[in-house]
Amino acid sequence: MATIRQAMVATPVLEGERRPFPGREGLFNSLAAVVPEAEIELALPLIERVAELKASRDAVVVAHNYQVPLITAGIADFVGDSLAMARFASRCQAPVIVVCGVHFMAESVKLLCPSKTVLLPNLAAGCSLAESIAPQDIRALRRSHPDTPVITYVNTPAAVKAESDICCTSANAVAVARSLNARRLIMVPDRHLAEHVARSTGLEIIHSGGQCEVHAKYAGTDVAAYREAMGAVVLAHPECPRDVQERADFVGSTGAMDEYLETRRPRRVLLLTECSMADNVSVRHPEIEFLKPCNLCGFMKAITIEGVAQVLEGLCNRIEIDPLLAARARRPIERMLAL
């Protein structure tokens, strides 16, 4: 059973690229603990249809950690954070990439794969954090703080990335900040990530005040109550408010959380990030009890298996970026990747 579970979520080797259809038994075995049997049964025809369409279109599906288990285990060829998705897409040979994530993630894939067809199952899948910053905001910050390097979180539109000096992820934000050899930095748009970097580095960080509507809902009282009542190990994303981070046992990106769980194997865990992350990790670690308060991202949940099938059938909802803008937006990403 553990072997089947692991196979459903393991990162595929690039030579294979497309994960084989798991089959009815494989899905039931891997998802029984997190998805009702009736829901799996209802989804099977669509999952089978997506498998057929991927083969006929020579396409792969990349999915973010916040997608539901029926997507990550049933149709995704790769599961990871936004940057890992883009990296996988750029290294694989498939000419068609379906992004099960939000709009800025599909843009990131297109920036790293300009010659490939990139499809987003729902063009309305936005992001509250990405929408909190605009190119003119960065230009205004530069005028107010001349000669101050600008770090832009990857959770932003291409037009915002184009105005920055370098990008960062939640996993490498501290390393990126230190690499610039400056005492003062501008980091946009997430205030909580910026403050986390400031505390970790001792640098002066100027931010734009944005925040993720999902992570901002958590409070330090959540941590205290669950730890006292349940004795849980608390893992928090750096997009959570400061009082949450200070009370957590570990603060890190989704990838860092996954690594923590893989190496430490705590008995009972509270993950303070988007709800589906716990469901997906519990597929890999059925021995760990995951507690919730559960905050869902409505934008992520706008992506459905039906939507994936539709864009594969019509090759529609293509992500296109003006070549001049793309060239400017690609530079800060490439600078980050070169570190």
- CATH 3.40.47.10 is held by the domain 215-291: no
Percent of the chain with pLDDT over 90: 73
3-class secondary structure per residue, 14-39: CCCCCCCCCHHHHHHHHHCCCCCHHH
pLDDT tens-digit map of 127-185? 999 999 999 999 999 999 999 999 999 999 999 999 999 999 999 999 999 999 999 99
Residue 204 DSSP one-character state: E
CATH of 2-126+300-314, one of 3.20.20.80, 3.40.50.10800, 3.30.530.20, 3.90.550.10: 3.40.50.10800
Percent of the chain with pLDDT over 70: 95
Could you tell me the pLDDT band of residue 293, with boundaries at 50, 70 and 90? Answer: low
Rounded CA gap, 12 and 88, in Å?
A: 10
Q: Which CATH class is domain 130-212?
A: alpha beta
Residue 231 reports pLDDT greater than 90:
no
pLDDT for res 5: 33
Residue 81 reports pLDDT greater than 90:
no
Task: Report yes or no: 85 and 110 within 8 Å, Cβ to Cβ.
Answer: no
pLDDT for res 13: 43
Residue 8 reports pLDDT greater than 70:
no
Task: Report yes or no: 268 and 230 within 8 Å, Cβ to Cβ.
Answer: yes
Burial of 14 (0-12, 13-18, 19+ CB in 10 A): exposed
Contacts of 211 (CB under 8 A, 6+ apart): 128, 129, 132, 190, 191, 192, 239
Coil, helix or strand for 210?
A: strand
Least confident of 65-69, 116-120, 325-329: 65-69
CATH topology identical between 2-126+300-314 and 130-212: yes
Task: Report yes or no: 278 and 271 within 8 Å, Cβ to Cβ.
Answer: yes
Task: Report yes or no: 208 and 137 within 8 Å, Cβ to Cβ.
Answer: yes
Structure tokens at 5: 């579970």
Structure tokens at 147: 């000669």
Q: Give the E-state strand segments of the chain in sequence order.
A: 59-64, 78-80, 96-100, 117-119, 150-153, 166-168, 184-188, 204-206, 233-236, 250-251, 268-272, 289-291
Could you tell me the pLDDT band of residue 14, with boundaries at 50, 70 and 90? Answer: low
Residue 104 reports pLDDT greater than 90:
yes
pLDDT tens-digit map of 110-119? 999 999 999 9
Domain limits, the chain: 2-126+300-314, 130-212, 215-291
